[in-house]
């Protein structure tokens, strides 16, 4: 696979962690009928996957910092670089035996995402991107869709579960967006939503209350595929924990609809 040495290390870490997650996923499918369910098992799988990724990345790049969903943040000896990792994005899907989850690894340099890997092991689709070098899926170049009319567009979003503070605003977003578009989908994985925007499968995506590790790799993927990514509110995606992404033709129209909230 072409790409920088850093990207190849990221792909190695994602594929290594995913091999065990695929085995765990098969076990989870068997646990659906159990009374206790698969909760504890998935938590262990998630944590183990992050430990595998962290071991590989910190061995190859010992001076980089770390921000991962399942472990303590760590500042590196090189304060300009850090890994941002979600070892299992789409946890609820995984828990319910839904084959729509991904390993997401991003490399940040001086506050900017410069490389991203999103591996959908269930579908064997490896999305990669490096700043200035384009976005690819299974080594084929990907680009955002070309749709221009909102009414022809399909968008993704994350639907809050009970108790999440963004539920009222998201319901208002849906009330404005759904009548104006061809469809809205909620897949349960922000990383794959952004990867699919980059691949032209969705025309855009927005979500409130995301974490940096959910979207770090995907936002680079969309930009390198020719799309636009901005915070829905505030100054930056990570700080505001909001994101809106779309192809350049419909970005302004989608952003306008969700920013009215």
CB of 32 to ligand LIP, least distance (A): 18
Pick between residue 116 and residue 188 the one whose CB is nearest to ligand LIP: 188
Q: Around Cβ 47, how many Cβ atoms within 10 Å?
A: 16
Pick between residue 91 and residue 249 the one whose CB is nearest to ligand LIP: 91
Structure tokens, 75: 């500042």
CB of 193 to ligand LIP, least distance (A): 7
CB of 209 to ligand LIP, least distance (A): 8
Pick between residue 91 and residue 145 the one whose CB is nearest to ligand LIP: 91
Q: Which parts of this chain interact with ligand LIP (CB under 6 A)?
A: 69, 86, 89-91, 158, 188-190, 207, 214
CB of 25 to ligand LIP, least distance (A): 14
- Please give the Cα distance from 22 to 94 (Å, whole number): 10
Q: Which residue is nearest to ligand LIP (CB)?
A: 158
Structure tokens, 85: 């990792």
Distance of CA 80 to the CA centre of its chain: 22
CB of 252 to ligand LIP, least distance (A): 23
Pick between residue 109 and residue 185 the one whose CB is nearest to ligand LIP: 185
Long-range contacts of 234-241 (CB under 8 A, 24+ apart): 237/210, 237/212, 238/212, 241/208, 241/209, 241/210, 241/211
Pick between residue 108 and residue 214 the one whose CB is nearest to ligand LIP: 214
Distance of CA 101 to the CA centre of its chain: 9
- Please give the Cα distance from 242 to 228 (Å, whole number): 14
């Amino acid at each position: 696979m072409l790409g920088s040495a850093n990207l190849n290390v990221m792909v190695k870490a994602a594929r290594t962690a995913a091999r065990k997650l695929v085995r765990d996923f098969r076990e989870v499918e068997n646990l659906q009928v159990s009374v206790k369910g698969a909760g504890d098992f998935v938590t262990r799988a998630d944590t183990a996957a992050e430990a595998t990724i962290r071991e590989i990345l910190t061995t190859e790049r010992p001076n980089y910092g770390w921000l991962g969903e399942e472990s303590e943040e760590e500042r590196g000896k090189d304060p300009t670089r850090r890994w941002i990792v979600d070892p299992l994005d789409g946890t609820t899907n995984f828990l319910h035996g839904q084959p729509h989850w991904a390993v997401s690894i991003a490399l940040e340099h001086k506050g900017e995402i410069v490389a991203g890997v999103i591996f959908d092991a269930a579908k064997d689709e490896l999305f990669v991107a490096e700043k200035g070098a384009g976005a690819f899926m299974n080594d084929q170049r990907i680009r955002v869709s070309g749709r221009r009319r909102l009414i022809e567009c399909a968008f993704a979003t994350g639907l809050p579960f009970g108790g999440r503070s963004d539920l009222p605003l998201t319901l208002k977003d849906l009330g404005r967006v759904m009548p104006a578009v061809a469809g809205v989908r909620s897949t349960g994985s922000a990383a794959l939503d952004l990867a699919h925007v980059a691949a032209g499968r969705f025309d855009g995506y927005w979500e409130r209350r995301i974490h940096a590790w959910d979207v770090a790799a995907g936002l680079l993927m969309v930009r390198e595929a020719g799309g636009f990514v901005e915070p829905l509110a505030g100054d930056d995606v990570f700080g505001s924990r909001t994101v809106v992404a779309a192809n350049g033709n419909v970005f302004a129209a989608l952003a306008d609809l969700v920013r009215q909230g």
